[in-house]
A = this chain, B = another copy of it.
Amino acid sequence: MDTRERMVDVTARLLARQGYHATGLAQVLTEAGAPRGSLYFHFPEGKEQMAAEAVRRLGEQLGAALQAKLDGKPDVRSGLQSVARMFARQLEASEFALGCPVATTALEASDEAPGLATACAEVFERWTVVLAERIRKERPRIAGPERLARTVLALIEGALLLARVRRSVEPLRDAELAIETLLEG
């Protein structure tokens, strides 16, 4: 893996855990084993550009994981249950450090880093599309699969936030039940 790739990978890992502001350039360069001049050589627009690429990578990775979980189950309901449990395991394994890999960065960026905020918005949109397509496949006649997908995403995002704050996977269990109700309603 070349230096640029390693920098994006390290940034992605740090953003997921600690967000944008806490992720310092020195830490990225050290962990990626990259020389000092690497940032502006590889990312002429600086830290925000590097973070935007890292967010897109996190978005692809989680998008693929969501797709695999949804494809691996016979219906949307059990697919989403499997997604919620994947997040619960990840939270517990990381001592509640790893929830939504993009949420902290998205909130920080929305105030002050428009390029990074755009990358975050694209990532949430991608996840919504993955979910909406799976809903439509199962229920071709449903009205507004995008709206249902967005609502489910909002519920999972909120549950991941509360789960990190409370250091408990209970909000994800509550979300599982609520998703069942929403899919029926």
Number of copies: 2
A contact residues, total (Cβ < 8 Å):
47
Q: Which of B99, B107, B162 contacts A164 (CB 8 A)?
A: B107
Given contacts A110-B167, A124-B166, A154-B171, 16 further A-B contacts (CB under 8 A): A17-B111, A19-B107, A21-B22, A103-B107, A110-B164, A150-B162, A150-B174, A154-B155, A154-B178, A155-B155, A156-B158, A157-B158, A157-B162, A178-B182, A182-B182, A184-B185
Give the docked Cα–Cα distance between A106 and B167 (Å): 12
Instruction: Report the separation of the CA atoms of residues A77 and B13 in the bound assembly, to the nearest whole angstrom.
Output: 41
- 18 A–B pairs (Cβ distance < 8 Å), ordered by A: A18-B108, A18-B111, A19-B107, A19-B108, A103-B161, A106-B161, A106-B165, A121-B165, A121-B166, A124-B165, A147-B174, A154-B158, A154-B159, A157-B157, A157-B158, A158-B159, A181-B182, A184-B185
Q: Give the residue name and chain of the B residue nearest to A17 (CB).
A: B111
Query: Is A97 part of the binding interface, using a Cβ–Cβ cutoff of 8 Å?
Result: yes
Interface 0/1 of A104-135, CB less than 8 Å to B: 10111011100001001100110000000000
Contact mask for chain A residues 9-24; partner B; CB cutoff 8 A; 1 contact, 0 none? 0000000011101100
Interface check A34, CB cutoff 8 A: no
Residues from chain B with a CB closer than 8 A to the CB of A162 are: 124, 150, 153-154, 157
Tell me if A151 is interfacial: C-beta within 8 Å of chain B. yes
Q: What is the bound-complex CA distance between A9 and B131, given in angstroms?
A: 41
Q: How far is the CA of A108 from the CA of B23 in the complex (A)?
A: 11
Given the complex, which residues of B lie within 8 Å of A174, measured CB to CB? Answer: 147, 150-151, 154
Within 8 A of B (CB), among A137-185: 147, 150-151, 153-159, 161-162, 164-167, 170-171, 174-175, 177-178, 181-182, 184-185
